[in-house]
């Protein structure tokens, strides 16, 4: 067999067996995640340090959510994810960590009392969206933006039922929102109505109030 053809066959074989791992991650998620309903997913940077204002706001947000009948889902790592899991666990709620192993930053925090481990980002993102009744987006980087725009796109294109998408921290998000409004809407690559898919707040109490008004338990 020519070497090129051998390499193609080897790649195809590996992809075929990879399907079983993908299926196993979906099955485990579909079995566990319904138990955490209703849950709010909290996203944000893994680089946020304990004791910082964002960390403290995330702790309070998670506690308030549990006190109002919601469980909390995070990515299971450090920073904002740790604060989300810690706040939910301390308030007596289900504290879900959807953990993915990465070379940097993504070490599991000890506060999740429901934990799933993923190899594939896209499966993890399905679990975030499918089993959340709302998203709260704390300050973050590429990963946080990826998860934010995934939800906005799915809502905009009616691929999922609309749910609250809340950006926490008007100062942090101001530049992005200005760019969306003054560049994308101005250039007509985005509809003005698309800016109504999300809300911006500064206090955990305001985020929880939006969720309470919108989500039927």
Q: Which residue has the higher pLDDT, 165 or 5?
A: 165
pLDDT for position 13: 56
pLDDT for position 16: 79
Give CA 131 to chain center in angstroms.
Answer: 10
Q: Can you read off the two tokens belonging to residue 173? A: 């998000």
Q: Look at the chain and report how many structural domains it folds into.
A: 1
Mean of all residue pLDDT scores within the chain: 92
Q: What is the pTM of this model?
A: 0.89
* CA gap 164, 159 in Å, rounded: 15
* CA gap 66, 184 in Å, rounded: 37
Non-local CB neighbours of 57 within 8 Å, separated by 6+ positions:
138, 168, 169, 203, 204
pLDDT at 25 > cutoff 90: yes
* CA gap 174, 180 in Å, rounded: 10
User: What is the three-class DSSP state of 57?
Assistant: helix
Of the chain, the percentage scoring pLDDT greater than 90 comes to 84
202: domain CATH number is: 3.40.50.450
pLDDT at 115 > cutoff 60: yes
Alpha helices by DSSP H, 119-214: 121-130, 142-156, 170-179, 204-214
Say which range, 12-16, 19-23, 34-38, 94-98, has the weakest mean pLDDT. Answer: 12-16
Half-sphere exposure of 97 (CA within 13 A, CB side): 27
Strands (DSSP E) contained in the chain are 39-43, 71-74, 95-100, 114-118, 134-137, 165-168, 198-201
Q: Which residue has the tokens 């007596």?
A: 92
pLDDT for position 12: 61
Range of the structural domain that residue 47 is part of: 3-214
Say which range, 86-100, 103-117, 137-151, has the weakest mean pLDDT. Answer: 103-117
Residues 42-71 have pLDDT tens digits of 999 999 999 999 999 999 999 999 999 999
pLDDT for position 1: 45
* CA gap 140, 120 in Å, rounded: 20
């Amino acid at each position: 067999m020519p070497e090129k053809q051998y390499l193609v066959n080897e790649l195809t074989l590996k992809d075929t067996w990879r399907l079983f791992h993908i299926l196993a991650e979906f099955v485990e998620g579909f079995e566990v995640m319904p138990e955490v309903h209703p849950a709010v997913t909290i996203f944000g940077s893994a680089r946020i340090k304990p004791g910082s204002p964002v960390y403290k706001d995330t702790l309070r947000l998670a506690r308030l959510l549990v006190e109002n009948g919601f469980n909390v889902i995070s990515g299971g790592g450090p920073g904002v994810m740790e604060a989300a899991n810690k706040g939910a666990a301390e308030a007596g709620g289900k504290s879900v960590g959807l953990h993915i192993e990465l070379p940097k930053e993504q070490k599991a925090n000890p506060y999740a009392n429901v934990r799933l481990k993923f190899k594939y980002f896209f499966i993890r993102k399905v679990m975030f969206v499918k089993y959340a009744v709302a998203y709260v987006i704390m300050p973050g980087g590429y990963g946080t933006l990826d998860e934010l725009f995934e939800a906005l796109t799915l809502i905009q294109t009616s691929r999922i039922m609309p749910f609250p998408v809340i950006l926490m921290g008007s100062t942090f998000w101001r530049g992005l929102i200005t760019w969306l409004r003054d560049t994308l809407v101005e250039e007509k690559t985005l509809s003005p109505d698309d800016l109504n898919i999300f809300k911006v707040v500064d206090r955990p109490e305001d985020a929880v109030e939006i969720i309470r008004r919108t989500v039927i338990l």
